[in-house]
Amino acid sequence: MAVDFKDYYKILGVDRKADDKTIKSAYRRLARKYHPDVAKTKDATDRFKEVSEAYEVLSDPEKRRRYDSLGPDWQRYTQAPPAGQPAGRGGLGPTGLNPERMKGVVQLVAEKSAVIVAVTAGAVRAALERSRG
């Protein structure tokens, strides 16, 4: 089941470098605006839940770190293990690796590696040209 990525910074209307005080202030302002007892619009309850979810993640240093580093896959690495998986190993099978959970990490590493190789190749090419010229 694919889950759409939610940009919690955009939901709260804050910058990615916002400090705790700014995040809390934005949350309180939006929570008052969209609270179901106050707002009478149809989507107020959904917006309130969305704002609360964003604040829950961005106000917790560990969750925020995972969200910032893993992006849309941040929650996949915090969920309970699937049925039949031993809980003591964090949901890992008998080999210690769960390929389903590693897909996002492998893809991220592959993308970053391709960029590093391209940059390195360009730097080597430029250095060779300078040494010949």
Question: What token pair was written down for 34?
Answer: 């969209």
The CA distance from 103 to 36, in Å, is 39
Rounded (10°) angle between helices 44-58 and 61-70: 100
Q: What is the pLDDT of residue 116?
A: 72
Which of 46, 49, 44 is CA-nearest to residue 27?
49
Q: What is the pLDDT of residue 88?
A: 47
Q: What is the pLDDT of residue 8?
A: 93
> What is the average pLDDT across 91-95?
48
> What is the average pLDDT across 85-100?
52
Q: What is the pLDDT of residue 85?
A: 56
The CA distance from 129 to 38, in Å, is 67
